[in-house]
Amino acid sequence: MITHQEVYAFLKKKPTLSYAGLTKEAGLPTGTLAKAMSGQRTLTDTHLRALEPVLVQYGFEEFRNRRAIVLAVVNHKGGVGKTTTTINLGKGLVNRDQSVLMIDMDSQGNLSQSLGIHNPENQLLQALTRNAPLPVMTLSDRYDVVPSDLELARAEAELIKTPSGVLRFRNALAPFRAQYDYILIDCPPSLNIFTYSALVASTAALVVLEPEASAVKGMYNLLELIFDIKESFNPRLKVEGIVMAQVNPQLVLHRELMSKVRGDLKGQPFFKTEIRQNIAIAESQYVGKTIFDYKANSAGSVDYQSLADEVLAKNDSFSFA
């Protein structure tokens, strides 16, 4: 039988459906669905049994069997904006009524710390080494995270020496893929076992690059790794797109460097959106907020919402909005 949470999530994705109309079709007391959607009541088993055949007519089975788009946010080096992109792309997707789970796959724990989570007692480490469920923390409605810190580094040696080590994360993630629309994995600034594991579990890789002369260095190694994983473990894996971050659009050098990067990586998909340099982005991470919550009208907010909309457009066949 369907659950209250599934009904709530489904109707959030179908804003054109009338609560009053569905209530009438299912023969429920007036206002039942409207109250459930506003958090004023929980649907009973009787309500749910009556609703299920009605909702099936509107695509509920397709919604229930959906699987999250899993994006590994990657680069071979640090300081390019992977964590910032994970946090704010995630919130931009939530702004479009998508449910998002972020996973801190970096033992530096920058994603967790940027969200105000320090020294988490339950973290990704236990899922990789003790076969424990992923410890999901709710940040706000439809916006969750699996935290990490330096303790995660302890898992590296074990994962490397175990033949099935690279598959552990994929197995731990599997039960959650029906619960979210998007899962974003903040990968470490190296092509290590954690990045490898993230790519094995992902639908696609989202690459973050800066407009600098060395931006392409190491990219070929990353693209080769993606190809190898696609061939050996994950045939659906692709490059979702490359996004240029920390861009100064007024700087001629940046425009020239981005043109060179696009030329050197010709044939790879680039996002139209560029993330401009914006002090508000750095400030938002310092205070543990997304750019949308910190300064909604900033350039950073505009850019990350644009990026989220591009990601949604690329995956529109999976959207139920």
Q: Alpha helix (H) ranges present in the chain? A: 4-13, 19-26, 32-37, 45-56, 60-64, 82-94, 110-114, 124-129, 154-161, 165-173, 193-201, 219-232, 252-264, 279-286, 291-294, 299-314
**What is the phi/psi pair of residue 177, to 5°?**
-75, -20
- pLDDT tens-place string over residues 113-146: 999 999 999 999 999 999 899 999 999 999 999 9
- pLDDT tens-place string over residues 208-239: 999 887 878 888 899 999 999 999 999 999 99
Residue 321: both structure tokens together: 């909005």
pLDDT > 60? residue 309: yes
pLDDT > 70? residue 275: yes
- pLDDT tens-place string over residues 154-168: 999 999 998 889 999
pLDDT on residue 319: 41
Closest CA to 63 of 99, 103, 90: 99
- As a whole-number percent, the residues of the chain with pLDDT over 70 amount to 98
pLDDT on residue 244: 94
pLDDT on residue 72: 98
Closest CA to 218 of 229, 231, 204, 207: 207
What are the domain boundaries of the chain?
4-64, 69-318
Distance CA 80, CA 265 (A): 18
- pLDDT tens-place string over residues 35-76: 999 999 999 999 999 999 999 999 888 877 778 999 999 998
pLDDT > 70? residue 180: yes
Angle between helix axes 193-201 and 154-161 (nearest 10 degrees) is: 70
Please report which confidence band the pLDDT of residue 191 belongs to, taking 50, 70 and 90 as the band edges. Answer: very high
Residue 71: both structure tokens together: 């994006």
pLDDT on residue 318: 44
Burial class (CB in 10 A: 0-12, 13-18, 19+), 216: middle
Burial class (CB in 10 A: 0-12, 13-18, 19+), 266: exposed
- Measure CA of the first residue to CA of the last residue in the chain; give whole Å: 23
**Highest CATH level, class, for 69-318:** alpha beta
What's the rounded mean pLDDT across residues 20-43?
94
Residue 52: both structure tokens together: 């299920």
By DSSP bridging, strand 100-104 and strand 204-209 are unpaired
Whole-number average pLDDT of the chain:
92
Report how far apart, in Å, the C-alpha atoms of 249 and of each of 89, 257, 273 are.
20, 11, 12
pLDDT on residue 219: 87
pLDDT on residue 317: 46
Please report which confidence band the pLDDT of residue 298 belongs to, taking 50, 70 and 90 as the band edges. Answer: very high
Distance CA 162, CA 61 (A): 38
C-beta atoms surrounding 35 within 10 Å: 16
